[in-house]
Amino acid sequence: MGDLDTDLIAFYDQESDERSKRPLDVLRAARQTEFADRLTMEGCSSLLEVGVGPGRDAVEFIDGGVEVVGLDLSLNHARIASAAGVPSVQASLYSIPFASRTFHACWTMSTLLHVPDSRFDEAMQSVCAVLRPGALLAIGLWGGRDAEFVSEFDQIKPARFFSLRSHDRIAAMVGGHGSIELFDTWPHGANDWEYQFIVVRTTT
């Protein structure tokens, strides 16, 4: 396991209890509702959430009738999500412990922003490998500009690594793994970051 992953585990294991109490983003919640409606329309019955966190998004999908499995780099997050009723495993997204073509869909919010550009294709290939051909993959990221850095503002240490991408560049990077069916953005409010919400139809 690389140093970046080790640092992320240490950070999120410490932050896990606080994160479970954090208010949900209203706009992202609305996009989740829309995505869940698409899953119902297309008869998608299984979903992998990469970066399940405390499991709040996953619970919403489960309540809508979707069978969800969560994956998180943080063991504490996997335990909290499992306790909330979301079967979850602790694992790296570079080595997902499920058979190929297992899931109808994937939901991954604010996770791929911790993947450096040098490993982005590797991460996407790993995720797509466990999805069925033509699966729906929803990706949420902070971005709007190009930068890779370790946060100066994290109070918990070790601080997290971030990789931000401009809208055009992330569209090109994601588009190499499927056809983009939705690309939406909205401002953060506190800084110059923007949230990027992308729905991809996978091709493999």
Strand partners, 182: 199
H or E element that contains 169: helix 167-175
pTM given for the model: 0.95
120-129 and 167-175 helices, crossing angle to 10°? 50
Per-residue pLDDT band for 2 (boundaries 50, 70, 90) equals low
Phi, psi (5° rounding) for residue 28?
-65, -40
Omega before residue 158 within 30° of 0, cis? yes
The one-letter amino acid at 132: R
Per-residue pLDDT band for 190 (boundaries 50, 70, 90) equals low
- Backbone torsion region of residue 26, taken as left when φ is above 0, otherwise alpha when ψ lies between -120 and 50, otherwise beta: alpha
Residue 81 is predicted with a pLDDT of 97
Share of the chain above pLDDT 90, in %: 89
The one-letter amino acid at 90: Q
The CATH homologous superfamily to which domain 3-20+43-202 belongs is Vaccinia Virus protein VP39 (3.40.50.150)
DSSP 128: H
What are the tens digits of pLDDT across the range 43-66? Answer: 999 999 999 999 999 999 999 999
- The single residue listed with the structure tokens 């993947």 is 115
Question: Whole-angstrom Cα distance, residue 20 to residue 23?
Answer: 9
